[in-house]
Amino acid sequence: MDIRKTLLWAIFTISAILLFDNWQTHNGQSSMFGPSKKAEVAVVNNSGNQDLPKAIKAPAALPAATVSAPKIGEIISLKNDVLELEVDTIGGAIIKARLLKHFEDDKTPVLLFDKSNERQYFARSGLVSASGAELPNHTQVFSVVKNATNNSISLTAEKNGVRLEKTYSLTAGSYLIDAKHVIKNISAQNLDATLYAEIVRDGGKPSYKGVVEDSSFYSTFTGPAIYTEAEKFSKIEFSDIEKGKAKAPGSQVVGRATWVAMIQHYFTSAWIPSTNYQKDLYVEMLEKNQYRVGVKSKLETIGIGQEKTETLKLFVGPQQESVLENIAPGLELVKDYGWLTILAKPIFWLLEKIHAVVNNWGWSIILLTVLIKLVFFPLSAASYKSMARMKEVQPRLLEMKERFKGEPQKLNQAMMEMYRKEKINPLGGCLPVVVQIPVFIALYWVLLASVEMRGAPWLGWIQDLSKPDTLFGVWFGAPIGLLPILMAVSMFVQTKLNPTPPDPVQAKLMMFMPLIFSVMFFFFPSGLVLYWVVNNILSIAQQWQINRVYGGNKKTT
């Protein structure tokens, strides 16, 4: 067997897999390396909950009022230094949310929530009755009962002897909204009610002025997510909801560690109940291209003239791990690295620590790449030494191929004997690289998923590490930048430093690989390309030094 040919085909196969993975994501399929787009959401096993009181009835169905042509009541504004909200008195729903520290290309704040003719993304809440009587919900008109301040507003609505008062409050520097719900029973009988809180969204990808933010060469998840103490974190595809395949954990969910969310690239929103009431999590399609995810909390019976208070929290903001992990258990998982989380989280932690010193995400990426390269130096050195030895004996391999032409068994025996005498491991150049692949893929997803890269400048022409490098403009629909060109050049140099494949077809294929990858990387965020360029330059320096040392001591037969 020709080991070198096998190794070259292994390299080609890995490259082909990466290209196929990008083609898959371009066509809406799941990535093989990043966060899974198709999460399997298991139904909670209720067999252990048979001791729950039988008097607790299943909550009544939620109102399913259409949201395609939204009614607008009086609009109340709330604001702190990071978040600006608009609350509609119809339903007391939060229909707009601007993130004042995150900006679009034209420097306007990111509009995350938006209930309009163009978009549907907002949060609302209300009550349903176990008896089926209509209670104040998101279809009712609420009245402002207290003068709104810049960061707090109270609204109330009354229906069938039940009064619901909502109070939204903001605190300085926080994307967390306190949503206090006071339910008062002013009827002549006890009240069994359920409080629901949900997020409604259309199924479109994040966009700005009609332009979808996802690249043709990579894809990020957009859709609902659910977390429970038992089932942990699950994502749900809009397409699965539409086809009736998605199942939420359902009723009798207990424990404080429960929340529902809507996720998109860089940002998320989430309802977080604050009590141990029995909960019912649900996902549903309202109508074509409109979905909702929510949580119902079964309240204790409210006596005549009594009231109950339930304070939920609503997060609307960026996916910053250090912030999310302090809000609710598992909430930081909305920034999803998939099966590489165990590697990605410490890599991002280190990246943050470096940034705290240098205060520039571009230089942080460069220093992180250098540190990772140093950690893997022994493996890389072993790999390059093996490749250098393989290059050293290449003339002898070619001579053997001619000598044993048409006799593959004798050729393999001769090659194995030479490898044994020269103490060369033909797999030595491949295995160290394979060990490093998961780390580099994890770093790839760290840079792709981190909102910190969004709008972060490096130097000169790179003013946003989350955007492609466009130094030379856009030609034929592709952004042309310096970093992808440097990457192609560095890959070409690496190819020249490696042993030339004896097969002319393989040799040409390896020479074309830099061109193929450079075209793909024209569309990648500049932060990712910066990482690859620095990694390639360090690899070239290391490989050149090893080749220089070994090249002066060639052995001949």
pLDDT digits (tens, 9 = 90+) for 316-367: 999 999 899 999 999 999 998 877 888 899 999 999 999 999 999 999 999 9
Q: Using alpha carbons, list the distances in angstroms from residue 443 to 19, 219, 318, 358.
A: 18, 16, 20, 19
Mean pLDDT to the nearest integer, 97-119? 93
Q: What is the DSSP string of 266-325?
A: TEEEEEE--S-SEEEEEEEEEETTEEEEEEEEEPPPB-TT-EEEEEEEEEEEE--HHHHT
Torsion of CA 437, 358, 485, 4, to 10 degrees: -20
Query: What CA–CA distance (Å, rounded) separates 172 from 194?
Result: 31
Query: What CA–CA distance (Å, rounded) separates 237 from 222?
Result: 8
Nearest to 222 by CA among 263, 254, 188: 263
474 has a pLDDT exceeding 90: no
Query: What CA–CA distance (Å, rounded) separates 327 from 91?
Result: 26
pTM of the model: 0.79
Q: Give one word for 468, left, alpha or beta, with left for phi > 0 and alpha for psi -120 to 50.
A: beta
List the single range of 256-270, 408-422, 503-517 with lowest mean pLDDT.
Answer: 503-517
Give the domain ranges of the chain.
Answer: 3-14+345-551, 37-336
Looking at residue 70, what is its pLDDT?
46
Fold of 37-336: Beta-galactosidase; Chain A, domain 5 (2.70.98)
Helix, strand, coil percent content, the chain, rounded in steps of 5: 35, 25, 40
List the single range of 102-116, 156-170, 514-528 with lowest mean pLDDT.
Answer: 514-528
Looking at residue 266, what is its pLDDT?
93
pLDDT digits (tens, 9 = 90+) for 279-319: 889 999 998 899 999 999 889 999 999 999 999 999 999 99
55 has a pLDDT exceeding 80: no
Confidence of residue 36 (pLDDT cuts 50, 70, 90): very low
53 has a pLDDT exceeding 90: no
Helices (H), 146-246: 238-243
Confidence of residue 551 (pLDDT cuts 50, 70, 90): low
Q: What are phi and psi of 106, to 5 degrees?
A: -90, 15
Q: Which residue has tokens 């040919």?
A: 5
Percentage above 70 pLDDT, the chain: 74
Q: Using alpha carbons, list the distances in angstroms from residue 7 to 428, 507, 525, 549.
A: 10, 13, 30, 23
Looking at residue 427, what is its pLDDT?
61
Looking at residue 56, what is its pLDDT?
28
List the single range of 1-10, 157-166, 473-482, 546-555 with lowest mean pLDDT.
Answer: 1-10
Query: Mean pLDDT for the chain?
Result: 79
Mean pLDDT to the nearest integer, 404-431? 75
Looking at residue 473, what is its pLDDT?
81
173 has a pLDDT exceeding 80: yes
